[in-house]
Amino acid sequence: MDMKQKLLLTALLLHLLGAARAQSTNIPLNADAEQTLLRLSLLEGGAFDVHPEIRPWERKQTVEIANRLNNGSKFDRRDARDLLDDSNEFVPDSIQTNAKSLLRYFYRTPGHLFEVNSPHFYLKADPMLHVGLGFDPVSNKRTFLNRRGIEVRGGVDDRVYFYTSVVESQWKAPDYIEQWVNRYQAVPGAGFYKTYDSSIFKVENGYDFNIATAYVGVKASEHIGVQLGHGQNFIGNGYRSLLLSDVGANYFYLRLNTRVWRLHYQNLFMELSPVSQRQVAGNALLPKKYAAIHYLHYNITPRIGVGFFEATVFNRKQQFELQYLNPVILYRTVEGFIGSPDNVLIGADLRVDLANSIRLYGQVLIDEFRFSDVFKPDQKGWWGNKFGLQAGLHYINVLGIDHLDLQLEFNAVRPFTYSHFDSLSSYTHYNQALAHPLWSNLNEGIAILRYQPLQHLRLQMRYIRTSLGENDALDNWGADPLLSYNSRVMEYGNEIGQGTAANIQNISVDVSWEFYRRMYLDVQLLYRDKNSTDDTRDLTTSLFNAGVRINMWRGRTEL
């Protein structure tokens, strides 16, 4: 980004800050509150102003959803109470759950170590901790996790809000994660990393890295919000997203949210890296690429919603293409103006809620598509028909059992999806996916059963089966978007699973006991088996993990 562009962006933000009123910070992605919000949004039959496809959720909206709860069990009411306690900056003092005050500002309410609430300023600060040990009897290896940090959020003058969390991590990962890191030179969910050894826990060749999430936001008008920072975003209702997911590293972004009538329109402008730091010599600056995303969601009724997605990724040698800042233009039109060879993707999603307990959802992602080839026998399987499909179901209170929830999902992604002729313009960041974590050339089935038999006990059982095709040592069969699609093996006859075929089964059982507000004892059993037509790629992992979490959400590493 050159100096003129920086000045333009700075002037825009200063103008917005001067004219703004407050919005709110977000619920962290993968927090337990996300499942609670899914349940409450279904129980109350939806609303025109609730768009669960766009995450992370804003705290102010979660308070509104919790306050709407009229139905539900005593557990549902407790869940709503927890949402209010966690976001009590938007809850009147008269209805807050108060705890015994310590030194005036410490643990004034449950779940917050330190907080200040005044008419023109609020601040919450909490420690973050996640420590755990594991053992794999198959490989006879130990795993180890040590994450600690701090989370701070606040607001000033009912105009500006801010959030930051910094987590320092040391991790000895299981073998299948190590294989991924060795191949792509990136730790899933992280950016820069170093190797780590511990004589205390007898850990060698672990990873040491930081994950920082930070943003500042303002409200440009009653219905338009602006946020600038580092973090992630998610679009969709599924466990996966084929449009924009949260499985990779944090990135720098500018986000505009417009909510009016039945519409939620989101613009994202992102600065990404086409490679990892380990692929750049010395202290050289990482190369950059950029992405611009439009997503428009419309609630046809409170129970039916449809969304439209468009994204472009482009590489301009440290310079953002200013024409992509137009928030209401089709990116293909911009390409016509500038004659650029950029990577454009489009998509759509659909949500249908039934009987206050069932949510049907789906997505379609089109990277490139030529309809005529579908009906020509000699041209079927054209490599350029790059698309992905998702279909899923959420079913809460299965068979009338309170807090027994089921999720079923199917994903299919064609070979070469998310790739581009310029490998630097693929739909990736820091050698990690912006959508499905296993890239493309795959079929996947997911079943997740969640149960809360007691107030503070959460159980989750997850089964994921993936059939995929991997690239050979020398041949590009469309499994890796980091490669240019110009290196493809053939023009026609391409199908999902081509190349080196493999099946992956991932089974896990998670048990969490909340012994104090936002403090958990965790136990996990995990079994992962990869069976490949290339026997050298076979790998079986069997893990038992136990640990403690404080104000920390679980990571996602189910590759």
Q: Structure tokens of 132?
A: 């755990």
For 400-417, what is the mean pLDDT? 97
> At 525, phi and psi to the nearest 5?
-115, 130
- In 3-state terms, what secondary structure has residue 482? coil
Q: What pLDDT, on the 0 to 100 scale, is given for residue 104?
A: 67
Short-list 321, 353, 465, CA closest to 52: 353
Cα dist from 37 to 59, 63, 402, whole Å: 11, 10, 15
Token couple for 442:
């795959």
User: Could you say which of 3.50.50.60, 3.30.930.10, 2.40.160.130, 3.90.550.10 is the CATH number of the domain covering 3-550?
Assistant: 2.40.160.130
Beta-carbon contacts of 119 under 8 Å, excluding residues fewer than 6 positions away, are none
Per DSSP, 345 falls in state E
With 0-12 / 13-18 / 19 or more C-beta atoms within 10 angstroms meaning exposed / middle / buried, residue 503 is: middle
Residue 60's SS3 state is helix
Band (pLDDT 50/70/90 cuts) for residue 159 is confident
Q: From CA 280, how far away is CA 59, in angstroms rounded?
A: 39
> Rounded to the nearest 5 degrees, what angle is found at the Cα of 447, between the Cα atoms of 539 and 461?
75
pLDDT at 541: 95
Predicted confidence (pLDDT) at residue 328 exceeds the cutoff of 90: no
**186 CB contacts (<8 Å, ≥6 apart)?**
193, 249, 276, 278, 430, 431, 432
pLDDT tens digits, residue range 479-536? 999 999 999 999 999 999 999 999 999 999 999 999 988 899 999 999 999 999 999 9
Please report which confidence band the pLDDT of residue 349 belongs to, taking 50, 70 and 90 as the band edges. very high
The two three-digit tokens of residue 521, written as one number = 């004892």
What six digits make up the tokens of 505?
Answer: 């089964």
Residue (of 414, 390, 185, 166) closest to 286 by Cα position = 185
pLDDT, average across residues 179-190: 93
Phi-psi region of 75 (alpha: psi -120 to 50; beta: other; left: phi over 0): alpha
Residue 547, classed as helix, strand or coil, is strand
Q: By C-alpha distance, which of 269, 266, 260 is closest to 307? A: 266
261-285: per-residue pLDDT in tens? 999 999 999 999 999 988 887 778 8
pLDDT at 96: 63
- Yes or no: say if 442 and 471 are a contact pair by the CB < 8 Å rule: no
Peptide bond into 56 cis (omega under 30): yes
Q: How confident is the prediction for the chain on average, in pLDDT?
A: 89
Q: How many CB atoms lie within 10 A of CB 186?
A: 25
Confidence of residue 2 (pLDDT cuts 50, 70, 90): low
